[in-house]
């Protein structure tokens, strides 16, 4: 892999618990080694064939869905906690034993290089088809150029967020999104006709077909 791209997040994570513990332990030890004693951090790690590996440490709140996924699943407001921490106001996290909700976010990657031909109709209709969808955010508009996996790191075209009563419902929503509603609806005119294909389906690297994925 010359590169890799995020495809989404699940909260709570359904990644194996032993590997989650390794990831958390290294994140905490790394922040401590850098001298941090308070604050909210965005620490990225990846589990590889050689174990967990650190990617980066950011002394800031995580982006995209990090705030919402923690709030929906665990009732933890990272923005509030960051402010309290910055002001040195003591607080404790009252994390419930079971998740309040199950949250999922998928980043839809460009399947090939070309020009975007639609502003949103290609996916907006899925809100009516999949009731658990709570938000669709667009990162590309008509006329924008997107890069597919053959030419570099795929561009994110949009993200879809869902809130459900179980992780099974979250995964089924994403299966319906990719396997049913978005078939034949890629709004990209390819640079080369032979490049045309459906949206990239991460398979075992994201839990659409029973695999596993970590979350922010």
pTM of the model: 0.88
- The answer to whether residues 172 and 135 touch, using CB atoms and an 8 Å cutoff, is no
Cα 89 to Cα 146: distance, rounded to the nearest angstrom: 45
Taking alpha carbons only, the member of 84, 138, 129 closest to residue 108 is 138
Task: Give 4's pLDDT tier (boundaries 50, 70, 90).
Answer: confident
For the beta sheet containing 114-116, the strands, ordered from the edge strand earlier in sequence to the opposite edge, are 145-146, 114-116, 188-190
What pLDDT, on a 0 to 100 scale, did the predictor assign at position 216?
A: 37
What pLDDT, on a 0 to 100 scale, did the predictor assign at position 210?
A: 36
Q: Is the pLDDT of residue 144 over 50?
A: yes
Condensed to tens digits (0 to 9), the pLDDT of residues 177-205 reads: 999 999 999 999 999 999 999 997 655 44
Tokens of 95: 């994390």
What pLDDT, on a 0 to 100 scale, did the predictor assign at position 214?
A: 37
Q: Which residues contact 128 (CB under 8 A, 6 or more apart)?
A: none
Q: Is the pLDDT of residue 53 over 60?
A: yes
Task: Give 208's pLDDT tier (boundaries 50, 70, 90).
Answer: very low
Q: What is the mean pLDDT of residues 77-90?
A: 94
Write the CA distances from 184 to 44, 136, 163, integer angstroms.
34, 19, 26
Q: What is the DSSP string of 130-147?
A: -TTEEEEEES--TT-EE-
Cα 164 to Cα 105: distance, rounded to the nearest angstrom: 12
- Of 1-10, 46-55, 184-193, least confident by mean pLDDT is 1-10
* DSSP type of residue 33: H
Cα 127 to Cα 111: distance, rounded to the nearest angstrom: 22
Task: Give 2's pLDDT tier (boundaries 50, 70, 90).
Answer: low
What pLDDT, on a 0 to 100 scale, did the predictor assign at position 201?
A: 62
Condensed to tens digits (0 to 9), the pLDDT of residues 86-117 reads: 999 998 888 999 999 999 999 999 999 999 99
């Amino acid at each position: 892999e010359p590169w890799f791209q995020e495809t989404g997040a699940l909260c709570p994570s359904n990644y194996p618990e032993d590997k989650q513990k390794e990831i958390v332990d290294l994140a905490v030890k790394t922040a401590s080694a850098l001298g941090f004693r308070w604050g909210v951090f965005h620490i990225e790690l990846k589990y590889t064939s050689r174990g967990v590996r650190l990617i980066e440490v950011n002394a800031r709140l995580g982006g995209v869905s990090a705030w919402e996924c923690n709030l929906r699943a665990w009732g933890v407001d990272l923005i509030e906690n960051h402010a309290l921490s910055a002001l040195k106001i003591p607080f404790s996290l009252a994390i419930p034993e079971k998740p309040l909700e199950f949250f999922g976010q998928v980043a839809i990657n460009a399947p090939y290089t070309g020009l975007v031909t639609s502003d949103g109709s290609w996916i907006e209709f899925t809100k009516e088809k999949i009731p658990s969808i709570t938000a669709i955010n667009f990162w590309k508009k008509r006329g924008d150029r997107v890069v597919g996996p053959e030419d570099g790191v795929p561009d994110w075209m949009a993200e879809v967020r869902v809130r459900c009563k179980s992780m099974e419902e979250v995964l089924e929503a994403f299966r319906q999104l990719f396997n049913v509603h978005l078939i034949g609806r890629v709004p990209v005119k390819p640079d080369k006709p032979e490049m045309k294909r459906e949206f990239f389906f991460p398979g075992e690297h994201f839990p659409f077909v029973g695999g596993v994925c970590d979350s922010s």
